[in-house]
A and B are shown apart, each in its own frame.
Chain A
Amino acid sequence: MSILIDENTRLLVQAITGREGSLHTSRMRAYGTNVVAGVTPGKAGQDVEGVPVYNTIRDAVREAKPNASVIFVPGPGAADAVMEAAANEIPLIVCITEHMPVHDAAKVYRYVQEQNCRLIGPNCPGLVSAGKAKIGIMPNQLFKQGNTGVVSRSGTLTYEMTDELTSRGIGQSTVIGIGGDPIIGTTFTDTLKLFDEDPETHVVVLIGEIGGTDEEEAAEYIGSRSGKPVVAFISGRTAPAGKRMGHAGAIITGGVGGPDHKVQAFNEVGVPVADTLGEVAERVQEMLAAGVSR
């Protein structure tokens, strides 16, 4: 087990003939992902490393039956690309694209819900079920199969956290970057619910950052259930208010989104908040050991 993706994932790549699309198609296949189709309007009949290209998702669905899609379409077209995937009822849509206008994201979110699909991102690195499948742009060499779930709003910190775990011999079930935008399709809470239901995941690492209240909502959820133990890390703990720290969503405004409140919310429900990624790994190690002895 793992969450969201595994050996049965049949992936469609939107904008497969572009620079990013073709490069990452190659890397995802190298990881073992079954890429069954690509879409670039006007390029039907071509192929990328043998993966057939279609003009529309409708055609790709008819021929190749994908059950997940990844979007490399640039900012201005990304919202439309998600809508096309949702209109064709692709159950899992992963949008890597950065700089999707927020008004577009609000419409997209609503439509995806209405179509009963799941969107991850935008502005995210994607996800990996270690040893099984990868969707997105995370570096292939970092992962080791195991029982720790990782969920993060930051791309690079996800890599670094995974590296930290793997170097200590701690494997991962699924590692997922949910994205740094103000509106994202899948939140911390959504992901925690999935990890709670996954027998392979024993411990969850949550990497939050300043901005919004997604961490507080996750803490509330954690307090309301008896699920997997969670270790948290918050980046931007010294960031000043009113400044957007790179991610569109990483800003403290109107007294909302500050780090202290997030740390407090986690502490109140017994979730340790580590000061470094190394310390996160240590806590995970302790929790896994305690779980084994139980």
Chain B
Amino acid sequence: MLLQEYMGKDLLRAAGVPVPAGAVAETAGQAEGIARGMGPVAVKAQVLVGGRGKAGGIKLADTPREAYEAAQRILGMDLKGLTVRKVLVEEQQKIAKEYYAGLTLDRSKHRFILMLSSMGGVDIEEVAVSHPEAIVRTWIDPAYGLQTWQINQAMFDAGFEPSAMKDLRKILGGLYRVMVDTDALLAEVNPLAITEEGRAIAADAKFDLDDAAIYRHPEFAAFGAESITDPIEAYAAEKSLTYVRLEGDVGIIGNGAGLVMMTLDVVKSVGGQPANFLDIGGGARADVIRNAIEVLLKDPNVKGMVINVFGGITRGDEVARGLLEAAKTLDLRVPVAIRLAGTNEEEGRKILEGSDFTPASDLVEATKAVMEQIEEQGAVTAGGHA
């Protein structure tokens, strides 16, 4: 779960990290109030999309009146499909140089890693490709945490001036503490700015929290809804289904992440475009199957469905019942292919006898059949318009 910039900066400020003076506003009036008593400010849209500045979500203001006007223009603005509800109003910084600081998981080393780079302000992933030597890496022992000597060593290796040492300890020490305290998988300050006065300051803040640990952070759980950016994904989350929306028109349901991924691959291999990833998990009962179909139908792009179940703990008869329940209670407006194998496959087939659904044992065949039906439908619709 990604946190908004203002939340990240509040967390850092509370941990003693130097951040620009500022506060969040929900109205233009509030923005003006915050800007009063500050020098020139930046008014920044609080939405979780990349490229806010280019899209007009960040404006500079020299006076409180200008801050009011900037906030009025930004609040309510649509940025890549998201409505701006909050703006961060903060003092503009005179930046002399931009660095990068980030903490993230190094999976192959099984521990977190601190990355520092003198090439800040740009995407660190690009730096990793173009100038891998410009990133200083420090691995952190989870039993002891990030040590001060590690911070010293990393900052000198990354080319910071000795004058920045005190601020760097505050910034990196604080960043590490906040990451651990909030169970973040990514804690990033980019840019970590050196001001014209020679101070180091966290000019931006990005935190991505571990969804598996949200249970111990009730203060962020309430914010969860704000962080889900797609309405269908939000509905699926409500139904405890693992759903990821994609761009195609073939809806996909399966049991187990690996199996669903493989189903996506099969759909693509026969020329289809997956509309989503949906994992019903292990041991799903009929109502879960029905709910999964309901979630897929909420996507207007879906023109057909492929349901792929290999029964282990999940039982074929439950899947069949769920399918019939969906046909009865939902407007099942699209063709559905179902591939059923494993536990209680025969029972499932019996339940579906005489219904509109014929389970296939081969996924590729089932997918091809649905693709053909989608094409036929497309032809009919096109004919109708002509």
Q: Is A156 an interface residue (CB 8 A)?
A: yes
**A34-42, A52-60, A236-244 - the one binding chain B:** A236-244
Residues of chain A within 8 A of B213, CB atoms compared = 101-104
Residues of chain A within 8 A of B266, CB atoms compared = 276
**Across the interface, do A245 and B180 meet the contact criterion of CB distance under 8 Å?**
no
- How many A-B pairs have beta carbons closer than 8 Å: the answer is 160
Could you say which of B141, B257, B274 contacts A250, with CB atoms under 8 Å apart? Answer: B257
Contact residues, B71-130 vs A (CB, 8 A)? 105, 107-108, 110-112, 124-125, 128-129
Q: Which of chain A's residues has its CB closest to B128's CB?
A: A254
**A3-11, A84-92, A205-213, A263-271 - the one binding chain B:** A205-213
Q: Which of chain B's residues has its CB closest to A104's CB?
A: B213
Q: Which of chain A's residues has its CB closest to B110's CB?
A: A109
Q: Which of chain A's residues has its CB closest to B266's CB?
A: A276
Residues of chain A within 8 A of B210, CB atoms compared = 101-103
Given the known interface contacts A101-B210, A163-B342, A183-B110, the answer about A245 and B261 at a Cβ–Cβ threshold of 8 Å is: yes
**Across the interface, do B262 and A157 meet the contact criterion of CB distance under 8 Å?**
yes
* A262 CB to nearest chain B CB (Å): 13
Residues of chain B within 8 A of A109, CB atoms compared = 110-111, 142
Given the known interface contacts A137-B313, A236-B265, A245-B261, the answer about A110 and B216 at a Cβ–Cβ threshold of 8 Å is: no
Q: Mark B266-279, 1 if CB is under 8 A from A, else 0.
A: 10110000100101
Residues of chain B within 8 A of A125, CB atoms compared = 312
* A28 CB to nearest chain B CB (Å): 14
Could you say which of B142, B216, B244 contacts A76, with CB atoms under 8 Å apart? Answer: B216
**A147-155, A223-231, A283-291 - the one binding chain B:** A147-155
Q: Mark B324-363, 1 if CB is under 8 A from A, else 0.
A: 0000000000000000011100000000000000000000
Q: Mark A50-87, 1 if CB is under 8 A from B, else 0.
A: 00000000000000000000000001100000000000
Tell me the dominant secondary structure on chain A's binding face. loop
Q: Which of chain A's residues has its CB closest to B144's CB?
A: A110
Q: Which of chain A's residues has its CB closest to B215's CB?
A: A76
* B183 CB to nearest chain A CB (Å): 5
Could you say which of B107, B216, B262, B310 contacts A163, with CB atoms under 8 Å apart? Answer: B310
Could you say which of B258, B268, B279, B311 contacts A153, with CB atoms under 8 Å apart? Answer: B258
**Across the interface, do B261 and A103 meet the contact criterion of CB distance under 8 Å?**
no
**Across the interface, do A213 and B108 meet the contact criterion of CB distance under 8 Å?**
yes
**Across the interface, do A102 and B282 meet the contact criterion of CB distance under 8 Å?**
no
**Across the interface, do A75 and B258 meet the contact criterion of CB distance under 8 Å?**
no
* A103 CB to nearest chain B CB (Å): 5
Q: Which of chain B's residues has its CB closest to A75's CB?
A: B212
Could you say which of B105, B129, B342 contacts A182, with CB atoms under 8 Å apart? Answer: B105
Q: Mark A188-232, 1 if CB is under 8 A from B, else 0.
A: 000000000000000000010110111001000000000000000
Query: How distant is the Cα of A36 from the Cα of B131 in the complex, in angstroms?
Result: 56
Given the known interface contacts A152-B258, A243-B244, the answer about A182 and B265 at a Cβ–Cβ threshold of 8 Å is: no
**Across the interface, do B183 and A138 meet the contact criterion of CB distance under 8 Å?**
no
**Across the interface, do A239 and B264 meet the contact criterion of CB distance under 8 Å?**
yes
Contact residues, A242-277 vs B (CB, 8 A)? 243-250, 253-255, 275-277
* B167 CB to nearest chain A CB (Å): 26
Contact residues, B158-197 vs A (CB, 8 A)? 180, 183, 185
Could you say which of A99, A138, A183, A235 contacts B261, with CB atoms under 8 Å apart? Answer: A235
Residues of chain A within 8 A of B274, CB atoms compared = 238
A-B pairs with beta carbons under 8 Å apart, 28 shown: A76-B216, A100-B212, A101-B213, A101-B216, A110-B111, A111-B143, A154-B257, A155-B282, A156-B255, A156-B257, A156-B259, A159-B312, A160-B259, A183-B105, A210-B261, A214-B108, A235-B262, A238-B264, A238-B265, A240-B246, A243-B277, A245-B257, A245-B260, A245-B264, A246-B261, A246-B277, A250-B261, A253-B125
